[in-house]
Amino acid sequence: MIQFVSYNSRGFNVDKQKYVQKVLRDCDIMQEHWLSDSQLSILNTLSPDHVSVAVSGFGNNSVLTGRPYGGCAILWRKNLSLTASPITSNCRHISAVLFCGAGVRFVCLCIYMPYESDFSSTEEFQFQEAHIILGGILMLIFHGIGPIQRY
């Protein structure tokens, strides 16, 4: 049995790094780490037993105003009896890994889609005969539906 955990870290300072190190499981799905592209390698130093794939929520092409934001990451144990294949995307809202093994095939998706009225990404993932494990923050506007309401 594979243990999954999903959490919103709301930043990634030293205290949050220590917390994540304590709660790491077989596969961890993290949103809002707030790391820049040049800082993503920090995730691979959390544990010698884990490896990660991650995206920053913002680019390095301009000066960041305000606080950092967004970011998605998936961390998994190196010794899982599965082959892990990171899935590349041009979207800064999605991290994805395809896991395959004896009779098992699933895609782990970490999605961070805050409310954005101009969200225009039409990134599409298609997988044949694969289960989907989804963790993330979904507050986007679905075409023709409007923002998700909280009650």
Rounded distance between C-alpha atoms, residue 98 and residue 119, angstroms = 25
Instruction: Judge residue 42's burial from the number of C-beta atoms within 10 Å of its C-beta, 0-12 exposed, 13-18 middle, 19 or more buried.
Output: middle
Of the candidates 111, 112, 109, 90, which has an alpha carbon nearest to the alpha carbon of residue 99?
109
- Rounded Cα–Cα distance for residues 98 and 132 (Å): 9
* Averaged pLDDT for residues 4-25: 90
pLDDT in tens, 95-141: 999 999 998 889 898 988 765 545 455 455 555 566 676 676 554 44
Instruction: Considering only residues 68 and 86, tell me which one the structure prediction assigns the higher pLDDT.
Output: 86
pLDDT at 128: 59
